[in-house]
Structure 1
Amino acid sequence: MAKQTFADRLVLAMDQRGLKQIDLVHIAAQNHVKLGKSQVSQYISGKTIPRAGVMEFLADTLGVSKEWLADGTPIPVAKPIEPAPAATAAKVEPTPASPHFQNAASQPAASAATTASSSTTQPAAAPVRPTTTTAAAQTGFAAAATAAAARAAAPHPAPQPTPNTPLEARHMRTFAKSSKLDNVLYDVRGPVVDEANRMEDAGTQVLKLNIGNPATFGFRTPDEVIYDMRRQLTDCEGYSASRGLFSARKAIMQYSQIKGLPNVTMDDIYTGNGVSELINICMSALLDSGDEILIPSPDYPLWTACATLAGGTPVHYICDEQAEWYPDMDDIRSKITSRTKAIVIINPNNPTGALYPREVLQEIVDIAREHQLIIFSDEIYDRLVMDGEEHVSIASMAPDLFCVTFSGLSKSHMIAGFRIGWMVLSGNKRIARDYILGLNMLSNMRLCSNVPAQSIVQTALWGHQSVQDYIVPGGRIYEQREFVYNALKDIPGISVVKPKAAFYIFPKIDTARFNITDDVQFALDLLREKRILVVQGTGFNWSHPDHFRVVYLPRVEVLGTAMEQLADFLMYYRQ
């Protein structure tokens, strides 16, 4: 019989307790244990195993031995205790809920062989921790548990093999991921995507509506950009300055000035391998353990992941679906503490497609000013605004505050694979001198960003803006937005706010109608039955299992088929 894995034991114990993945997440939250649905999914799929603290929580919650859950070690049967005087004799009784312990402690030896032979044909129940009804027995088990825990916690030096020790008999050292990654999640490419990749490897075609990758759907980079890069390749073989090429930073500085960013010089421009790298640098340079940073919910999950990895505490403020997905100012104010260092805004927003008007931005500036917060503004979609709306950079409204503004060419110029983004420091840089030294240090450590991609920034920013043709009536992005919005709102059980920018839409599911309690499972079921890949709402740090994100980059014909398949799926789907 195949050896039982940790995932097998976890599923078995959950089944015996009647618990679902979401139940474990809720119990963990009640006990102040950080455990996300994606982590549980990865444990159950066998992709990883938890570290000691989470393992102990799971064992306690499921009422099983930590040793059994971790590696299948059976619960040891205690040695008989010497008879005590009749007045104080300890009587050990198995609990009614512990059949495994009853069998081990009370069955005759002759029947033990029968039990052992039958276990080869039936799955063994998860061994439940035994309990006793006397202080003496409790003390004995407690002492044994304490000793076992001490032995487990003590360092175990690897046995020293001799020259004659067979290779297969030598101790094999294994390596676990860093505990810093325990609560770092990125479900845009998470367990649901892993399942989609597995299906594709098996020959199944999957429509991927999970990631904003324009080239996949036939969007092409402007010819002038490609031409200029080819001409300059031989000049881009060496490192650039750590902040970037002069020509690239000059073009970005001029673009920032047109956007109204105050007090910007060449030294305030940093190019990066996409905005993602720069977000990571900013969080690492700013946050100490326990520092808090305000991040929208829903968010682009890289922000939460990078803040967590840096040792900080992400605090999510609500964006209100009933108010065009604008930030809830009262919620922001309620979550500011003495440890809050900064606030993040994503404008235009991913995943909702919201665009914040000037009056909303002014309220955020007022809050940041009152509490002396840094403003981080992710504006990677600032050139993908529709319906004649205007994008306003929040930094242009806060000359007395320290602001960091992020943008790039991945989305507006359809060159996500080139990995070229930037950040601009503006406003009151005097109050952030030491922080800027940290940014410089980390920027120097990675040497520089992709030099060939830097070489085309000037052409891309100041040449023909082909993206403008996509976002007006008749343009691909505009028409695809119109189609998917109308198709979604016509599906019974789905409601949706029309996006004003970017190329994402974030519909809401009537969870009561479909009995949905786990949106990861919803995304997996949709994938397996209709071969459509979306990202569940909780993957964007939204707290309820009632949303999912759709990327509307495919052509209308493809989106039409996808929406028909989704509508058909929801006709019969119940979780």
Structure 2
Amino acid sequence: MNSKLPHLETTIFTVMSQLANQHQAINLAQGFPDFEPHSSLIESLNYYSYQNYNQYAPMIGVEKLRNFIAQKVERFHHAIYHPEQEITITNGASQAIFTAIASIIEKGDEVIIFEPAYDLYKPAVEMFGGVVQPIQLKYPDYQIDFEELKQKVTSNTKLVIFNNPNNPSGKIFTADDLIQIESILKDQNCYIISDEVYEHMTFDGKEHQSFARIPSLKERTFITASFGKLCHVTGWKVGYVLAGAALMKEFRKVHQFNVFCVHTPSQYAIADYLDDENNYLELNDFFQQKRDYFVKGLSTTKFEMIPAEGTYFVSASYKNYSPLDDKSFAQQLTIDHKVATIPFSAFYHDALNEHVIRFCFAKQEETLDAALERLNRL
């Protein structure tokens, strides 16, 4: 067999979670909460299951959920998306991103990715014959080099993939950042995927900036988001995509022959749960408290923290502890000290080693306490 991805190994999230299980380590590596979702959400899921909402949902998603998304986006970003033509419910944000890439990328197309980047982007592009042109955002501030972006955008550029707030750095890109990107791309014949799964996890009063707010780019942008993150149910794998009608038409051509539709009772349960806006508007404060608690707990260690402006990750340099590369240090930390993390090099195409690791703080307080006790013994 000729592999389509001959150089690709198992994703770092699976590798580190397996290592954590093998050595009974606390898993602060993979990004999922270890606390229960709200009981009303589970009750609603059970209700719809027992009421026999168990057959195929509409290919584009349950109407009530699509209407909620349209209303939320209009409220927060003053952008209109038609729920029938421009919103599709997906099997998680990853499927939305993969399907968007599949719908537009052809052999030889160039795709700009800002690194550190979620490790789905590059292999998905390459699977369809695209060529990744990375722009590295580097330690410690992870700012965009707009001059490099200008140089990288050419007539061969088909797509730019953007993640805000950024996983893994926790960086939030500002309205000015988006305006500068707009000025570079507005006259170019290319598309955008804006990965906005952490839109409701922004801290210290910072506001999430969406490409839905940029009218000149809206019609050629896929915006992807996650209900798994929004509702603490990552295992349900429910997300969505927004796009202009012409783009969405192409997206749905792929979507219908990929997953066709998404788990029916979950869609109804999520729609009911989000009727109470406090269930998502309070997430910023909820996760900021966890961030602050974890960062305070690490303040007596020799880790040098990177400010986390959003997401549910906080990252740190470990250079005061070890000269090891980040993957080796993360493995050692898991095996010897029983705390699993993610090495930042996994988010760069060339495995750039900045001596930085990522912690997930979306955990119960007792989980964080146990991890902090071990990390303070380093």
Give your verdict on TM over 0.5.
yes
Q: Deviation digits for residues 485-520 of structure 1, max 9, x if unmatched?
A: 24445433x322211222101212328x7322x322
The answer (yes or no) to whether the contact 1:485–1:498 under 8 Å persists in 2 is no
- Structure 1 position 514 matched with structure 2 position 322: yes
Distance of 2:168 and 2:221 partners within structure 1:
23
Q: Deviation digits for residues 44-102 of structure 1, max 9, x if unmatched?
A: xxxxxxxxxxxxxxxxxxxxxxxxxxxxxxxxxxxxxxxxxxxxxxxxxxxxxxxxxxx
- Structure 1 position 182 matched with structure 2 position 1: no
Indicate the SS of the match to 1:288.
coil
**CA drift at 1:523:** 1.4
Q: What code does the residue aligned with 1:463 have? A: D
List gaps (5 residues or longer) in structure 2.
none
The aligned counterpart of 1:483 is 293
Q: CA RMSD in A?
A: 2.4
The answer (yes or no) to whether the contact 1:352–1:505 under 8 Å persists in 2 is yes
The aligned counterpart of 2:363 is 554
Q: Cα gap change, 1:548/1:459 in structure 2, threshold over 3 Å: closer, same or farther?
A: same
The equivalent position to 2:239 in structure 1, one of 421, 426, 429, is 421
The equivalent position to 1:357 in structure 2, one of 174, 190, 193, is 174
The equivalent position to 2:27 in structure 1, one of 202, 208, 233, is 208
Q: Please give the residue correspondences for 1:524-535 in structure 2 after superposition, counting only pairs within 5 Å.
A: 524-535=331-342
**CA drift at 1:469:** 4.4
Indicate the SS of the match to 2:137.
strand
**CA drift at 1:270:** 0.9
The answer (yes or no) to whether the contact 2:200–2:284 under 8 Å persists in 1 is no
The equivalent position to 2:353 in structure 1, one of 513, 522, 544, is 544
Distance of 2:72 and 2:171 partners within structure 1:
23
Distance of 2:131 and 2:42 partners within structure 1:
42
Indicate the SS of the match to 2:107.
coil
Distance of 1:449 and 1:374 partners within structure 2:
26
The answer (yes or no) to whether the contact 2:29–2:340 under 8 Å persists in 1 is yes
Distance of 2:155 and 2:313 partners within structure 1:
35
The equivalent position to 1:375 in structure 2, one of 192, 195, 200, is 192
Q: Cα gap change, 1:206/1:424 in structure 2, threshold over 3 Å: closer, same or farther?
A: same
The equivalent position to 1:316 in structure 2, one of 127, 134, 138, is 134
Indicate the SS of the match to 2:194.
strand
**CA drift at 1:269:** 0.7
The answer (yes or no) to whether the contact 1:419–1:453 under 8 Å persists in 2 is no
The aligned counterpart of 2:72 is 255
**CA drift at 1:244:** 1.0
Distance of 2:272 and 2:143 partners within structure 1:
34
The aligned counterpart of 1:440 is 252
The answer (yes or no) to whether the contact 1:288–1:311 under 8 Å persists in 2 is yes
The equivalent position to 2:276 in structure 1, one of 463, 467, 471, is 463
Distance of 1:394 and 1:509 partners within structure 2:
34
Q: What code does the residue aligned with 1:515 have? A: P
List gaps (5 residues or longer) in structure 1.
1-175, 570-575
Q: What code does the residue aligned with 1:522 have? A: F
Q: What code does the residue aligned with 1:298 have? A: P
Q: Please give the residue correspondences for 1:72-471 in structure 2 after superposition, counting only pairs within 5 Å.
A: 179-185=3-9, 187-197=11-21, 199=22, 204-214=23-33, 216=34, 218=35, 220-233=36-49, 234-260=51-77, 262-266=79-83, 267-323=85-141, 325-401=142-218, 402-426=220-244, 433=246, 436-445=248-257, 446-469=259-282, 471=284
Q: Cα gap change, 1:495/1:371 in structure 2, threshold over 3 Å: closer, same or farther?
A: farther
Distance of 2:31 and 2:105 partners within structure 1:
29
Distance of 1:557 and 1:238 partners within structure 2:
40
Q: Count matched residues.
A: 372
Q: Deviation digits for residues 291-348 of structure 1, max 9, x if unmatched?
A: 111111111111223222222122221224444x332222222322332112111111
Decide which structure has greater helix share.
1
Q: Cα gap change, 1:509/1:483 in structure 2, threshold over 3 Å: closer, same or farther?
A: same
The answer (yes or no) to whether the contact 1:229–1:453 under 8 Å persists in 2 is yes
Q: Deviation digits for residues 236-263 of structure 1, max 9, x if unmatched?
A: 2221221112222122122222233645
**CA drift at 1:420:** 1.0
The aligned counterpart of 2:310 is 501
The answer (yes or no) to whether the contact 1:186–1:305 under 8 Å persists in 2 is no
Indicate the SS of the match to 2:329.
helix
Q: Cα gap change, 1:370/1:196 in structure 2, threshold over 3 Å: closer, same or farther?
A: same
**CA drift at 1:417:** 1.6
List 4+ stretches of structure 1 deviating above 6 A: none
Q: What code does the residue aligned with 2:273 have? A: A
The answer (yes or no) to whether the contact 1:395–1:405 under 8 Å persists in 2 is yes
Q: Cα gap change, 1:276/1:478 in structure 2, threshold over 3 Å: closer, same or farther?
A: same
Indicate the SS of the match to 1:304.
helix
Q: Normalised by the size of structure 1, how large is the TM-score?
A: 0.60
Distance of 1:375 and 1:510 partners within structure 2:
36
Aligned sequence identity (%): 20
Q: What code does the residue aligned with 1:245 have? A: V
Q: Normalised by the size of structure 2, how large is the TM-score?
A: 0.89
Distance of 1:436 and 1:410 partners within structure 2:
22
Q: What code does the residue aligned with 2:252 have? A: N
Distance of 2:107 and 2:39 partners within structure 1:
47
